[in-house]
Structure 1
Amino acid sequence: NLRRELHNLAQILPGCWQINRVEVQFVSGEEKPAPSLATGSRQAEAEVAVDIYQFLQYESTQQWQDAAALIGGAFLEGIVLNDNLEFESWLLGEQERWRQLSEFVLNQLINLYNQQAQYQEALRYARQLLQIMPWHEEVHCHVMLLLAKTGQRAAALKQFEDCRQILVAELGIEPMPATVALYERIQAAREQPVHHNLPANTTEFVGREREQKQLQKLLAHPQRRLITIVGLGGMGKTRLALSVAKTQINAFLEGVCFVPLAALEAADQLSTTMATTLDFVLQGQYSPETELLNYLRDKELLLVLDNFEHLLTEDKNGAAAAFLTKILSSAAGIKILATSRERLKVQGEWIVNLGGLAYPRKTTAVNPTSYSAVQLFMRSVQRVRPHYGLARDETAVLDAAETAVVSRICQLVDGSPLALELAAAWANILPSKEILSEIQKSLDFLKTDAPHVPPRQRSIRAVFDATWRRLNEQERDLFAKLSIFQGGVTRTAVLEITGATLQTLSAIVNKACLKFDVDINRYSTFR
């Protein structure tokens, strides 16, 4: 009877009940600390784990993974009180409330891992969500898309069939047109290899771990559709873009397309160049721009547009940037990763500024080989002197004298990857100390006649000249005057001493000639 059962409960959980003639209440929350399991220490025997209280605690503190681990079947699943409509109504309401909370927690995890491009983890929680919402078509679509993004396209197609069977059996309806369209896109993509034309690396990619993670996170976000890597020439923008693009091949149903723009001379060449690179044959019925927009409309594709600044220099009407806006507006599945020496100034553009590689600020650095600038210099030297900087066990090592020399080289070129590679190229005939001496005399020493290097990057002088040509008269005047400042300068000092306007200051920042450190509120030039 009830009296006996209440007595048994009190024995099992002493001190956890408030009982009177009207009601029986389990004490928790503010009245008493929520019960928990003992972990590594003795606890009062009344302290037990109650999953719903733990779940609420985890949810309120945004411990989504811990909360998700507690999600199982329906609330009080299998509990039935015959002929008790009041209990049944209460139970249905509570089951729906807990289902909605579970859905919220799992969606938080799915979105989080999607934004971090960790699609396997996102898939794990999407499948868990599907277990509690098997009739929810949108969740099936999430699972299909994540399966496709993790290279499991056959499984994605099977997921559609599972979805269809459930909808027909449970609700008597067919999948929505959007779900069918997703199925057809995955099916079409499965019938041909994932497209990409990314060139293979000829040398090892060094450093940029933080920037790679930043770019991957931006690309995974559904609302970040135009990302521009901005930096001076020789900073490694193209290499970084290619490295990140290779991680995105399966993230887009139609893959990734690399479009080099350095050879283009006018903005009206952009659409035809993109069409050619995409292997899309223009029919001539409409303008190349219109035909390309129609082709891209239903595609899910990452476009990597390299060296976009070439189109900005001569494009006074902004036609090239405007075309990107048209692509993003008409083709919801397209994302663009651009590299440029200046910002594109397109609505919705996200900027990743790229400076030099990390290098030791002191020539007496304790662990110089941990800096990516030093690593790049060493590996570049090793291409002509294989044993440079290597101990007998092949680990990287520099003695104190060499550390001072290499650190100083990195400082003088501000960690510029191109400058470091140009410096290292002299290692076949000069020791590092003499390379440093030549750099200190003139940066014109940093040049090469190697045919595989584009003319615009065969010397630091060529990089500087290209930057100078992109500046107007006011910008050149300000850039020249900024050379008098050592260690950076505040905005107030720049404007008062140089007489420049805020617009001109902004322009040379946008063209990567000046960097702004928000933490110290100072501007400084790239060396």
Structure 2
Amino acid sequence: MTRPAKRSSSLELILLGAGEARLRGVRVELPTRKALALLAYLALEGATGRSRLAGLLWSDNDEESARRNLRRELHRLRQSGLRDHLEVSGDTVGLNEVVTTDVTGLHALGASADETDLQSALEVHTTLLEGYELDGAALFAEWLERERSRVAAARHRLALILAERFETRGEWRGALALHLRLLHEDGLQERQHREVMRLHDLLGEREAALEQFQRCRDALRVELGLEPLPETVRLAQRIRGAQTLERIETLVGTNVNLQEVNLQAPLVGREAALVALEGRAGATLLVGEPGVGKTRLAQDFASSRTGLTMRFTEASRQTPLAGVAEVLRTHLNHPGLLALEPVWRCELARLVPEFEPEMTARPSSSRVACVFSRG
């Protein structure tokens, strides 16, 4: 299929980094910083009412003053050579269809994207309008922070796609580098710690895998007051068991069935507590001094049952639904979550940005209400 020729008058907005506008490949000198903010918002959000734009960029002003400032800004943009790219219809302001941005291109990349495009997207380390601040525009600052989170989530998603491709063809070192990069960006992502541990193990670097587990445990304890999830602990135990088995085989020159090696001490003296947990109480409270084994008891009991384990701590009490978010992060690829309608995927992404679906639209409250009304 022949692609239509790109119009020579197209406007390109480079929003990753300091931000700039290019007309026919030539940089446009924008009249003010708010002019760039206005273009960025319209490019990513689409046509918007004047009242919304005025309140966004002049949050500290009264409505009449804010709308007057908006009229001046639009006039300056027209004078800067962008008249043909502004579309003003009644009370609505927008950009025409030939305006492109690098951010929309980033969000458009998906699982079927060319590997070169994925690598190019990940090579750009800047965020949206990096270092950009505006006086008297608190609402714009809030919007910009949300969009920066979406950019970070998109890059996270693309890194996982590329890492999976590397691993599929046996390039474990390349996959490890990508997971280490993600971990560097957020050292509290326990899932990434597990991926790094697992890949070190595949590469035969079990000592490095166990060191990663220790870093994971230290980070969770210091920053959140939490212990690693049972699945993280089990992975470390499996790796430690394999490492011990190698040493045994080296010493005695024989093969040992790894399935028969259990390096974790059994839970002793908790029979009565386990029986109590087996009861039908709606909620059970484990009480005791620090270090007596409450967490170990709860983990052993939970690991013997099906279902989800949610953890809420004193450290996360100011974060709504922190335990729910933690569970969702460990099940991002669960078939049930992946099969959700886009409106619910977007709602989940509000709580866990890593779950951001491959779309730029957000669910509106009316859309959610409509879904509820359908049952």
TM range (shorter): 0.3 to 0.5
Structure 1 length-normalised TM: 0.29
Counting helix residues as a fraction of each chain, which structure ranks higher? 2
Structure 2 length-normalised TM: 0.40
Higher alpha-carbon Rg: 1
Structure with larger RCO (C-alpha < 8 A, sep 6+): 2
